[in-house]
Amino acid sequence: MKTRMMLLRLTAAVIMTAVAPVGLCERICIEAETAENLTAPMIIVGATTTNAEKVKAASGDAYLEIPEGSGNPPKVNSGSAVFRFTVEKDGDFILWCRVWWNGECSNSFTMQIDDSAPFAFGQDGTYKAWHWVKAPPNLKCLKLTKGEHVLIVSNREDGVKLDQILLTTDRKYVPVDVETPSGIRSANAESK
Ligand SMILES: [Ca+2]
Ligand SMILES: [Ca+2]
Q: What is the DSSP letter of 173?
A: -
Separation of CA 104 and ligand 1 centre (Å)? 5
What pLDDT score was predicted for residue 2?
57
Neighbours of 45 (CB within 10 A): 22
Protein residues near ligand 1, an ion, with CB under 5 A: 107-108
User: How far are the Cα atoms of 81, 99, 145, 175 from residue 170, in angstroms, in the given order?
Assistant: 25, 20, 16, 11
What pLDDT score was predicted for residue 51?
64
What pLDDT score was predicted for residue 101?
97
| Ligand in closest contact with the CA of 54 | 2
Domains and CATH numbers, the chain: 26-191 (2.60.120.260)
| Ligand in closest contact with the CA of 130 | 2
| Ligand in closest contact with the CA of 121 | 1
What are φ and ψ of residue 186, in 5° steps? -70, -35
67: helix, strand or coil: coil
Question: Mean pLDDT per 10-residue run, the chain (192 residues)?
Answer: 58 46 81 96 87 80 95 96 96 97 97 97 97 94 97 98 97 96 53 38
What pLDDT score was predicted for residue 15?
46
What pLDDT score was predicted for residue 110?
98
What pLDDT score was predicted for residue 66?
97
What pLDDT score was predicted for residue 55?
75
| Ligand in closest contact with the CA of 103 | 1
Separation of CA 51 and ligand 2 centre (Å)? 14
| Ligand in closest contact with the CA of 47 | 2
